[in-house]
Chains A and B, each alone.
Chain A
Amino acid sequence: MPARSFNPAIAALREQIAAMEGESAAARGALPFGVPELDRRLPGGGLALGCLHEVAGGGNGAVDGAAASCFAAGIAARLPGQVLWCVTQADLFAPGLEQAGLGPDRVIYVEAGDDVSVLACMEEGLRHGGLGAVVADVARLSMTASRRLHLAAKGSGTTGIALRRWRRQQEAYDFGLPTAAMTRWRISVLPSAPLPVPGLGRARWLIELIRARAGESLDIELEACDGTGHLGHPAALADRPAQAVGA
């Protein structure tokens, strides 16, 4: 993909639109993923801070939310400060999160009874402003609720991640409905790279950026978070330029 060409007229228009929307995201900055293909497509060069983002799992991941929570943990791990994780069912396994870079000292879990109180707790966390990130496992996220969360996130500069997770896979159609989130991601698991010996290689994900405000969508195949929360290039892709040079 060619690098985005700089056009002063377009930049001025963008500024005007941002002023109209009251967005101060540009001032807050963005968290780069460290993967140029991904960062180049995101406005601001990374995941906008102080905004609401939506992450869901694809296929079975819509129910178990394992890959999506790993992805969210990786983002939260790279933000400074404590992380508030609101859940309805307490099935997160802290050693697994630690392997995505989010150590046990940094996460405060809130176990709320239902979706409504999860959203209320998430908003409370976003409004507080002293947290690095707030993650919440939610099934239904209406436009109104997401707008509230997004405004709360913008007000305090805390990044919010709504981890969409449903009871049944059929309910995941909900993910198509519009929300106020800045970006919307779907993380699906892919078979890991074959190893020369029996065993399992590093997990691989198909990361789909379904929607990005003022950005373009894309899908990319990447390796799962390492111990510091960074995504990796699959070996084949990383080797490709070298092979091309060799050939």
Chain B
Amino acid sequence: MPVSKAQAMVPGLQVLPHNPQADAASLERLALWVLQRVSPIVAVDPPDGMVIDSTGADHLHGGEDALLETLIGRLVMSGVTARAAIADTWGAAHALARHVAAPMHVAEPGTAEALLSPLPLSALRLPPATLASLRTLGFVCIGDLLHQPRAPLTRRFGPDLCRRLDQALGHASEPIEPLRPSELVEVRRAFAEPIAAAETIARYIGKLVVQLCAALEERGLGARRLDLLCWRVDAHVQTVRVGLAKPQRDPQLLTRLLCEKIETISPGFGIEILSLTAVMAEPLESRQVASSLLEAPAPDLSGLVDVLANRVGARGVYRMAPVASDVPERSVIRVAPLSDPVGAGWPDHWPRPTRLLPRPELIETLALLPDHPPVWIAWRGIRRKVARADGPERVFGEWWKRDAEMIAVRDYFRIEDEAGERYWVFRAGDGENSETGSHRWFLHGVFG
């Protein structure tokens, strides 16, 4: 469509010249951003796509669905509308992301053929000339091609068509050449003989780390995230990603973190290239430590936190910080383990249980309305007579967060049974107005 026609159709249309170089550069920047956050193997798929090898990276984000959801959510927040799909192969994911995903789709393993069959031929990454002649021959969707004899197709259209089909269905391999911008600090080592033993891998990791730390030191940087890529002889890439709480370039610590992950590397027939990259690096200058004769310096826990976080996942290591909320489950928030101390705790006019159930459990009770504690409760099949009780402590719904909580109320009671077990129970509702809650009773915590 000529510009003049478009301008006639849409008044006030803004026209900018197409700048492919700038587009490619910005796509590469975006890919680098994904590389640093999502997965060690990311490549640009021009003109408008990106391919990510999520193998071994999805569990860090809580599964494939969660991975896509976070990725799309974060892209939307930075002003990029994206569609994404996860499938067995690059080809299938490429097709699904462009033709099925709305805005995300996760294909079950082994369903590529069934999913791809109804899609148009343009999903196969073929040159426009091939597409046009296929259309002339009456082929509309991928399913039409799947059961055609291969030889005539290859003779007419060249090897490309069948190669693309095989790549999409996973019959042919399609390695992803990972994006490695020149500003990243990378060291690599190729082996004349493939290596496979854990001890050998550990030894070469040690050598690579020393090189990497020297390179980082030259630039005054410390690594925040390290990727170890192991190219196997069969063109598979095994990846190990290690995160650090603070920028570090201590060879001993980094070697230890990487070596702990060796058991996750499957060497197959052998590894021929090892490459170690600091995908995220932050300035780390040497600084002088003021020494004091009187007090011992505060111990540095960042090494311990790194080891633990790489063992159980970065989400598994945290500290709790107070939030100004009366609703118990909202009054705590997880913060990074090495974040600055918050100083203040929770207001402690009311006793709080040491164990809070993940979600309140429904109990049976007998209680006098509107503001008496239960006479007995039945929890997990055991009936307990309440000997003493304290309460109610009324917690109002947070209407500024959700409309549904406009007049919601919880009345908390501390109760003690005859054996001395102390529980934290609440009634949803104020005991008079049925709109304030269901008036059912729940057990929410156990006191020590």
A: which residues have CB within 8 A of B? Answer: 59-60, 64-71, 73, 81-82, 84, 89-100, 103-105, 107-113, 117, 120-121, 124-125, 128-131, 187-192, 194-195, 198-200, 203-205, 224-225, 227
Which B277-335 residues have a C-beta within 8 angstroms of A? 299-301, 303-305, 307-308, 311-312, 315-322, 328, 331-332
Is B163 on the interface with A (CB-CB < 8 A)? Answer: no
Main secondary structure of the interface of A (DSSP, over half): mixed
Q: How far is the CA of A68 from the CA of B446 in the complex (A)?
A: 12
In the complex, the answer to whether A110 meets B389 with C-beta atoms within 8 Å is no
In the complex, the answer to whether B303 meets A128 with C-beta atoms within 8 Å is yes
Q: Which residue of A lies closest to B413 (CB)?
A: A200
**How many of chain B's residues have a CB under 8 angstroms from any CB in A?**
51
Known: A108-B337, A128-B303, A189-B448. A91 touches B316 (CB 8 A): no
In the complex, the answer to whether A93 meets B420 with C-beta atoms within 8 Å is no
Q: How far is the CB of A115 from chain B (nearest CB, A)?
A: 13
Pick the residue among A66, A82, A92, A110 that contacts B317 (CB under 8 A).
Answer: A110
In the complex, the answer to whether A96 meets B445 with C-beta atoms within 8 Å is yes
Known: A73-B354, A111-B316, A203-B447. A104 touches B299 (CB 8 A): no
In the complex, the answer to whether A82 meets B301 with C-beta atoms within 8 Å is yes
Q: How far is the CA of A111 from the CA of B337 in the complex (A)?
A: 12
Main secondary structure of the interface of B (DSSP, over half): mixed
In the complex, the answer to whether A105 meets B342 with C-beta atoms within 8 Å is yes
Pick the residue among A59, A70, A103 that contacts B345 (CB under 8 A).
Answer: A103
Is B405 on the interface with A (CB-CB < 8 A)? Answer: no
In the complex, the answer to whether A104 meets B319 with C-beta atoms within 8 Å is yes
Which B375-425 residues have a C-beta within 8 angstroms of A? 387-390, 414, 416, 418-422
Q: Mark B330-370, 1 if CB is under 8 A from A, else 0.
A: 01100001000111011010011111111000000000000
Residues of A contacting B328 with CB < 8 Å? 93, 95
In the complex, the answer to whether A105 meets B343 with C-beta atoms within 8 Å is yes
In the complex, the answer to whether A98 meets B346 with C-beta atoms within 8 Å is yes
In the complex, the answer to whether A71 meets B320 with C-beta atoms within 8 Å is no
Q: Which residue of A lies closest to B335 (CB)?
A: A104
Q: List 8 A-B contacts (CB under 8 A).
A: A66-B447, A69-B354, A91-B357, A94-B332, A95-B352, A104-B322, A111-B318, A113-B312
Q: How far is the CA of A198 from the CA of B392 in the complex (A)?
A: 12
Q: Which residue of A lies closest to B388 (CB)?
A: A200
Pick the residue among B317, B322, B332, B422 that contacts A203 (CB under 8 A).
Answer: B422
Pick the residue among A65, A95, A111 that contacts B332 (CB under 8 A).
Answer: A95
Q: Which residue of B lies closest to A191 (CB)?
A: B420
In the complex, the answer to whether B355 meets A93 with C-beta atoms within 8 Å is yes
Pick the residue among B315, B346, B448 that contacts A100 (CB under 8 A).
Answer: B448
Q: How far is the CB of A234 from chain B (nearest CB, A)?
A: 13
In the complex, the answer to whether A99 meets B355 with C-beta atoms within 8 Å is no
Pick the residue among A65, A67, A68, A121 that contacts B312 (CB under 8 A).
Answer: A121
Q: How far is the CA of A129 from the CA of B346 in the complex (A)?
A: 29
In the complex, the answer to whether B316 meets A110 with C-beta atoms within 8 Å is yes
In the complex, the answer to whether B320 meets A104 with C-beta atoms within 8 Å is yes
Q: How far is the CA of A108 from the CA of B348 in the complex (A)?
A: 21
Q: How far is the CA of A35 from the CA of B389 in the complex (A)?
A: 29
Pick the residue among B311, B317, B318, B358 that contacts A120 (CB under 8 A).
Answer: B311
In the complex, the answer to whether A105 meets B355 with C-beta atoms within 8 Å is no
In the complex, the answer to whether B353 meets A130 with C-beta atoms within 8 Å is no
Residues of B contacting A192 with CB < 8 Å? 388, 416, 420, 422
In the complex, the answer to whether B320 meets A94 with C-beta atoms within 8 Å is yes
Q: How far is the CB of B250 from chain A (nearest CB, A)?
A: 15
Q: How far is the CB of B300 from chain A (nearest CB, A)?
A: 7
In the complex, the answer to whether A227 meets B348 with C-beta atoms within 8 Å is yes
Residues of A contacting B419 with CB < 8 Å? 59, 189, 191
In the complex, the answer to whether A204 meets B446 with C-beta atoms within 8 Å is no
Residues of B contacting A203 with CB < 8 Å? 422, 447-448
In the complex, the answer to whether B448 meets A66 with C-beta atoms within 8 Å is yes
Q: Which residue of A lies closest to B334 (CB)?
A: A109
Residues of A contacting B390 with CB < 8 Å? 198-200
Q: How far is the CA of A138 from the CA of B321 in the complex (A)?
A: 25
Q: How far is the CA of A172 from the CA of B308 in the complex (A)?
A: 28
Q: How far is the CA of A82 from the CA of B419 in the complex (A)?
A: 35
In the complex, the answer to whether B348 meets A95 with C-beta atoms within 8 Å is yes
Q: How far is the CB of B317 from chain A (nearest CB, A)?
A: 5
Q: Which residue of B lies closest to A60 (CB)?
A: B421
Q: How far is the CB of A137 from chain B (nearest CB, A)?
A: 10
Known: A64-B446, A110-B308. A100 touches B354 (CB 8 A): yes
Residues of A contacting B299 with CB < 8 Å? 81-82, 128-131
